[in-house]
Amino acid sequence: MTQRPPAPTAVPLLVAAGAGILMPVQALVTAAAAASMGSVLAAALLSQGAALGIVLLASVALPSGRRGWARVPAVWKERSVPRWFLLSGLVGAFYIVAQALSVGTIGLALFAVAVVATRTLGSIAIDVVGFSPAGRRRMTRQRLAGAGLLIVGAAVAAAGTGLRARDDPSAWWGLAVAAAAGLFVSFQQSMNSRAGIAYGATSTAIAVNYVAGVLGLLAACGAGVALGAPGVVPEQGPAWWHVLGGPLGIMFVVVGVTLVPRLGSLLLGIGLVTGQLLGSLLLDLVLAPERVAAPEVVGTLITLLAVLVASWQPGGTPRPRRGPGGH
């Protein structure tokens, strides 16, 4: 029997990088909404609520989505998806909160560094133990070198920002929140993909993810109001463009659910991170060109090299396992 040629990874990697470019844009929108409204939780709820509305409409409109919703009771009854996978939705909500809390304090570049480093380490662990739908993947020296180059590139790109942040003690809290968000996101991608396979529809998995996230934020807001915590009730309403953070988040989740079976958690993370750093660099060039210096440019080039090192496999790649489609 003739073996099928290995599926190329170049196009999925480019798609992942394209989605990654939108991540710093989402971070800017979320941080701006939080600053304008005077409430981090309200800004996060606005973003997640807008995304939930779009995803619910899409999942109901798509035939595969309707079939997925019909399978939800059976999936939960059979425990095909562990109940604790609902934490995946809370991870998405926490990531939005982290954007609102951290970006205004430490900036896009340093936020990216913290997320990149912890997400990459989490992705390595996921591939080694086989938690993702792609199964267990042997961690070659080549992939370890690519992951190492990725971390070095991200650190170099944000070197100047890191030096400035040392003078602001609150920046370390922002770094800690961003680092935690990056680690959780690496597991969220695999959890969403496994849930999508169980439901038979990517759109259903994403919708369940956002329902859990919105409920978690509502519970946090309710607890904050009951305890009289400051900064929970917004001081004013949002601008119309503050809602755009939600759709940008949808694109990120869709890419994670769809591509992790094809690329594995590590390669997917590298593609997303490359786009994230390129997007941060482009935004700095447009919005604050004085912040673009040699470290940002060199760090971006190192990161691009990391993508090539981690994805180049002269001996061919194993046939990927397919995940559910979104249609």
258 or 315, greater pLDDT? 258
DSSP type of residue 317: -
User: Which of the listed ranges 92-96, 224-228, 282-286 does the model predict with the highest average pLDDT?
Assistant: 92-96
Quick one: pLDDT at residue 300? Answer: 73
Average pLDDT score over residue span 55-75: 84
Quick one: pLDDT at residue 37? Answer: 92
Nearest residue to 186 (alpha-carbon basis) of 233, 124, 239? 124
Quick one: pLDDT at residue 162? Answer: 55
User: 8 pLDDT exceeds 80?
Assistant: no
User: 46 pLDDT exceeds 90?
Assistant: yes
User: 314 pLDDT exceeds 60?
Assistant: no
pLDDT tens readout for residues 210-219: 898 999 999 9
| Mean pLDDT over the full length of the chain | 78
User: 248 pLDDT exceeds 80?
Assistant: yes
Using CA atoms, how far apart are residues 87 and 324, in angstroms rounded to an integer?
21
- Looking at the chain, how many residues does it have? 327
